[in-house]
Amino acid sequence: MRTTDWKYIGYVGRNPVYEQLFQLAEDPHELNDLARSPAHRSRLDTLRERWRTWHDAVAAWRPETDWKDPA
């Protein structure tokens, strides 16, 4: 899940899910993973939920139906 300023990555095939969070404006080369930073917990939670919403919408979509943007 990517916004203008943030990038969230969740590796769902792992148990537990491995996550990464980058602040792109400050770290364009994605060297500083903020996923475990308490100061960024709210941002991580928000992007994780946005990703889940997209994931669920893609999983439910069928080619014979019109795509409805979940955002």
- Written as one string, the DSSP assignment of 23-43 is ETTT-TT--S--TT-GGGHHH
9 exposure class (CB count in 10 Å sphere: 0-12, 13-18, 19+): middle
pLDDT for 13: 77
User: In DSSP terms, which residues pair with 26 in a beta bridge?
Assistant: none
Is residue 46, in this structure, part of any structural domain at all?
Answer: yes
Predicted TM-score of the model (pTM): 0.82
Q: How many domains does the chain have?
A: 1
Is residue 43, in this structure, part of any structural domain at all?
Answer: yes
C-alpha 9, offset from chain centre: 5
Is residue 71, in this structure, part of any structural domain at all?
Answer: no
Is residue 1, in this structure, part of any structural domain at all?
Answer: no
Which structural domain, as residue segments, surrounds residue 25?
Answer: 6-60
Is residue 36, in this structure, part of any structural domain at all?
Answer: yes
pLDDT for 16: 75
Is residue 65, in this structure, part of any structural domain at all?
Answer: no
Q: What is the DSSP letter of 51?
A: H
pLDDT in tens, the chain (71 residues): 899 999 999 988 777 789 999 999 999 999 999 999 999 999 999 999 999 898 889 888 988 888 888 87
pLDDT for 22: 98
